[in-house]
Amino acid sequence: DQQVKQNSPSLSVQEGRISILNCDYTNSMFDYFLWYKKYPAEGPTFLISISSIKDKNEDGRFTVFLNKSAKHLSLHIVPSQPGDSAVYFCAASGNSGGSNYKLTFGKGTLLTVNP
């Protein structure tokens, strides 16, 4: 079963506007949530993470929001730039009971930022 779900395969936005990428999860044992960006022919690159005890984490143009009761998180990119065009993966990890070693990824969302 898909424990981490990204229901939008693609998203297209205009340069300078906000990009919002969404992610849902089913496993309440997840403690950390991470976002990765992936360009073609490259490995995923870490963007930002959030602990389950927080509801917001910000790093420059990137902000991640966590709604634990809804088991939902989102990544906001403001302002969007053409160089942000890539596949974005949501990932989750448990960090207790020895399970802090692997990430469970969603299927990804292809973001296209149009000039």
Between 15 and 72, CB nearer to other proteins: 72
Site of interaction with other proteins (CB under 8 A) = 4, 31-32, 34, 36, 41-47, 49, 51, 89, 91, 93-95, 100-108
Q: How far is the CB of 42 from other proteins (least distance, A)?
A: 5
Pseudo-torsion of CA 5, 7, 73, 25, nearest 10°? -20
Between 13 and 34, CB nearer to other proteins: 34
Helix, strand, coil distribution of the chain in percent, nearest 5: 5, 50, 45
Q: How far is the CB of 84 from other proteins (least distance, A)?
A: 18
Type and span of the H or E element at 93: strand 86-93
